[in-house]
C-alpha cells in the first residue's frame, strides 16, 4: 500500500491507473472465488429488488472489479489531499454535522459500500474533529504511520479485535474528549467473532455484533454513514440510527438482532442506489456449516 501511495504521489494517477487496472483484471480472470461472490451478490440484489436489469453478466461483474480499482485510486487521492470538501455532496437532513462539536462524541457505522475513505476525509477536510476508525487489522499502527506521512492528523485507526476492559476504557475516554468513533458494520473478523444472522437481500447472512455491542456499552448515540460515487462526484449520506441502544441481559441478543436487521435493511437500500459499489469478494451468505469455496 505504501508503494502504491508513493506511485500515485510521484507518477500521478494517470500513469498508475492502467497499472492498477491491470492488477485488478488479473484478479478478475484468476480469482474464481471473488468472481463467484460478486456474481452471487448481483443476482441476489436483482432478485430482491425485482430489477432484472441488475442480473449479473460477465461484463457487469467485470465492471464491479473495475469500480473497486477506481475506489482504490480515489482513496489515494484522499490521502494525498487531492479531494476537497467542496467536491463532496453531504446529505445530512438530521443536521448530524452540527453535533460534531458536541461535548461528547458519537459513533458512525459505515459499510464497504462506495468509499469509506471519503467519509473519513470529513474529519480532515471539513470538521477538523478527531475520528477514530475501529478496525480488526493487526497492522493499525502501520496504517497510522502512513496516515501521518500523508498529513492526516485528525484520523486514527484503533485495533479492536477484542472488546477488553482496556480498549473499552480508551474508547470511553475518547468519546468524553469529544472524539468520534467510526466502524464498518458489514464485515465479521476473519478469525471469527460475535455475529448474528439476519436477512440481507432476501437471504440469511452473518453480520458483526460489534457496533451495537459497543454503542450499548459506551452509552453513546449511533448514526449511519454511506458514501456513494456518482457521475458528478461523491455523495456522503449521514442519518441517525439510535440515540441509545439499551438492553437487559435477558433481551440483549434480541435487541442486537433487531439493530443489525435495521442496519442490513439500510445497507440494502443504498446498495440499490449504487449496485456495483458494494465491494464484497468473499462468500457473504455462507452458512456456518457450509465449507468455504
pLDDT tens profile 246-282: 888 788 899 999 999 999 999 999 999 999 999 989 8
pLDDT of residue 188: 79
Q: Calculate mean pLDDT across residues 139-166.
A: 58
How do strand 233-242 and strand 222-230 relate by DSSP bridges? antiparallel
Grade residue 101 by pLDDT with cuts at 50, 70 and 90.
confident
How do strand 195-200 and strand 203-208 relate by DSSP bridges? antiparallel
How do strand 155-159 and strand 107-110 relate by DSSP bridges? unpaired
Beta bridge partners of 225: 238
Residue 20 has pLDDT above 70, yes or no: yes
HEC states along the chain?
Answer: CHHHHHHHHHHCHHHHHHHHHHHHHHHHHHCHHHHHHHHHHHHHHHHHHCCHHHCCCHHHHHHHHHHHHHHHHHHHHHHCCCCCHHHEEEECCCCHHHHCCCCCCCEEEECCEECHHHHHHHHHHHHCCCEEEEECCCCHHHHHHHHHHCCCCCEEEEECCCCCHHHHHHHHHHHHCCCEEEEECCCCCCCCCCEEEEEECCEEEEEECHHHHHHHHHCCCEEEEEEEEECCEEEEEEEEEECCCCCCHHHHHHHHHHHHHHHHHHHHHHHHHCCCCECCCCCCCCCCCCCCC
pLDDT of residue 140: 42
Give me the chain's average pLDDT, please. 82
CB 48 within 8 A of CB 202: yes
Grade residue 128 by pLDDT with cuts at 50, 70 and 90.
low
CA distances from 100 to 84, 197, 224 (A): 19, 32, 14
Grade residue 136 by pLDDT with cuts at 50, 70 and 90.
low
Grade residue 102 by pLDDT with cuts at 50, 70 and 90.
confident
Whole-prediction pTM value?
Answer: 0.87
Beta bridge partners of 239: 224
Amino acid at each position: 500500500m505504501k508503494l502504491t501511495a508513493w506511485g500515485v504521489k510521484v507518477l500521478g494517477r494517470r500513469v498508475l491507473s492502467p497499472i492498477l487496472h491491470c492488477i485488478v483484471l488479473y484478479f478478475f480472470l484468476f480469482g474464481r472465488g471473488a468472481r463467484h461472490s460478486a456474481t452471487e451478490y448481483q443476482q441476489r440484489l436483482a432478485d430482491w429488488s425485482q430489477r432484472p436489469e441488475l442480473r449479473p453478466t460477465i461484463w457487469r461483474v467485470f465492471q464491479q472489479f473495475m469500480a473497486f480499482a477506481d475506489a482504490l485510486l480515489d482513496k489515494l487521492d484522499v490521502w494525498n489531499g487531492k479531494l476537497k470538501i467542496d467536491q463532496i455532496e453531504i446529505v445530512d437532513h438530521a443536521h448530524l454535522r452540527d453535533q460534531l462539536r458536541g461535548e461528547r462524541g458519537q459513533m458512525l457505522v459505515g459499510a464497504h459500500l462506495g468509499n469509506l475513505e471519503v467519509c473519513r476525509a470529513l474529519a480532515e477536510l471539513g470538521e477538523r474533529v478527531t475520528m477514530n476508525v475501529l478496525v480488526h487489522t493487526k497492522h493499525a499502527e502501520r496504517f497510522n504511520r502512513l496516515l501521518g506521512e500523508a498529513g492526516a492528523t485528525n484520523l486514527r485507526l484503533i485495533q479492536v479485535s477484542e472488546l477488553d476492559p482496556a480498549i473499552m476504557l480508551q474508547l470511553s475516554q475518547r468519546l468524553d474528549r469529544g472524539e468520534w468513533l467510526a466502524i464498518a458494520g458489514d464485515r465479521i473478523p476473519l478469525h471469527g467473532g460475535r455475529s448474528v444472522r439476519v436477512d440481507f437481500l432476501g437471504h440469511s447472512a452473518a453480520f458483526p455484533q460489534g457496533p451495537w455491542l459497543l454503542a450499548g456499552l459506551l452509552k453513546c448515540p449511533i448514526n449511519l454513514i454511506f458514501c456513494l460515487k456518482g457521475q458528478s462526484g461523491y455523495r456522503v449520506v449521514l442519518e441517525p440510527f439510535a440515540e441509545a441502544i439499551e438492553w437487559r441481559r435477558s433481551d440483549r441478543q434480541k435487541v442486537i438482532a433487531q439493530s443489525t436487521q435495521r442496519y442490513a435493511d439500510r445497507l440494502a437500500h443504498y446498495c440499490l442506489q449504487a449496485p456495483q459499489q458494494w465491494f464484497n469478494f468473499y462468500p457473504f451468505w455462507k452458512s456456518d456449516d457450509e465449507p468455504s469455496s
